[in-house]
Amino acid sequence: MGFKMGIVGLPNVGKSTLFNALTKTAAAQAANFPFCTIEPNVGEVGVPDARLDKLAAIAGSKQIIPTRMTFVDIAGLVKGASKGEGLGNQFLANIREVDAIAHVLRCFEDGDVTHVEGRVDPVADAETIETELMLADIESIEKRMQGLVRKVRGGDKEAVQQERLLKEALAVLEDGHPARVVEVAEDDEKAWKMLQLLTTKPVLYVCNVGESEAANGNEHSTKVGEMAAAQGNSHVIISAQIEEEISQLEDDEAVMFLEEMGLDEAGLDRLIRAGYELLHLETYFTVGPKEARAWTIKQGTMAPQAAGVIHGDFEKGFIRAETIAYDDFVANNGEQGSKEAGKMRAEGKSYEVKDGDVLHFLFNN
């Protein structure tokens, strides 16, 4: 299981440039005018993970298959999008389909790139988009509640639950807060998710800075960091321009380029890691002579459900998971060495898979 992250932001903040870099394509038309992106561009990227390369080298795997992450480049939102301004309704529908929002904020000064509001203020930009998403949610809730009236009167349990949750969300939104601040009981989680409210999506703020500020950011990105911390969201600092340049280079050249810029790693790596943390995801591995492969699961996933990510039959017929921690696999030079060192464990249905576990599943056909 990978996950889908929607790239949103006001026009001309660098969304399409970032998307091009992330997916190593020029699929998104990057241009200096609003609404150059109308249909959402979708790109899949392999998630970089140095552990996978190490495991493959030890096992002599012929093929390396990383887990995948999907980016959706959603057209630039503007003030009034919730009322359909600037093709707003179409964009808002695209946002409903993603797991998380990467909100790109302009944190660079450049007189040659126009700003839709005529000034550089990333915190105000973030508030503009958040307000539009909140207004769209309020409108959606009011329509749904009207449609539930008859069912609620008839005592329909699902409708009663839906109405209660919609009222909770509406109260929070009308108070000026996104729906993600609502504390949802475990029994309500499934129904809450089905509401598909835009402001329940976790947000990762992407501070797009100039090339010279990519390592340490600037005063704009500092303000975004403070805002994100206050909201319980997270942020990353990236120069979309640098990422685009790196995407055109061979691996060795890219490493040298990053070193020259004073960067330890590409922004893509930071963005994906921040996305994983935001969505509480982790990775486990399957390793053999044919392939070394990474799989993405939610934190807290039990062994049978982790097996089900590979194939439904693995979950249905689950017997046990032969488990080696990543560090043990490396320290003992592979599966055989780990077995001999007593580092392979047989885990049953109640085992919670850990990040980095190397797993082999046994199941009944």
Going by the annotation, the residues of the binding site for ATP are 12-17
Query: Do the Cβ atoms of 244 and 221 come closer than 8 Å?
Result: no
Geometric angle at alpha carbon 272, from 43 and 238, rounded to 5°? 95
Residue 17 CB coordination number (10 Å): 19
Centroid of chain to Cα 346: 32
Candidates 349, 26, 350; CA nearest to 362 is 349
Residue list, annotated binding site: 12-17
C-alpha dihedral (322, 306, 64, 281), degrees to nearest 10: -130
Candidates 120, 148, 303; CA nearest to 213 is 120
Farthest CA pair distance, the chain: 68
**CA separation for the pair 71, 1 (Å, rounded):** 14
Query: Do the Cβ atoms of 115 and 79 come closer than 8 Å?
Result: no
**CA separation for the pair 211, 17 (Å, rounded):** 13
**CA separation for the pair 339, 62 (Å, rounded):** 22
Contacts made by residues 84-92, CB under 8 angstroms, sequence distance 24+: 86/34, 86/35, 87/35, 87/38, 88/132, 90/38, 91/8, 92/132, 92/133, 92/136, 92/198
The rounded radius of gyration (Å) of the Cα atoms in the chain is 23
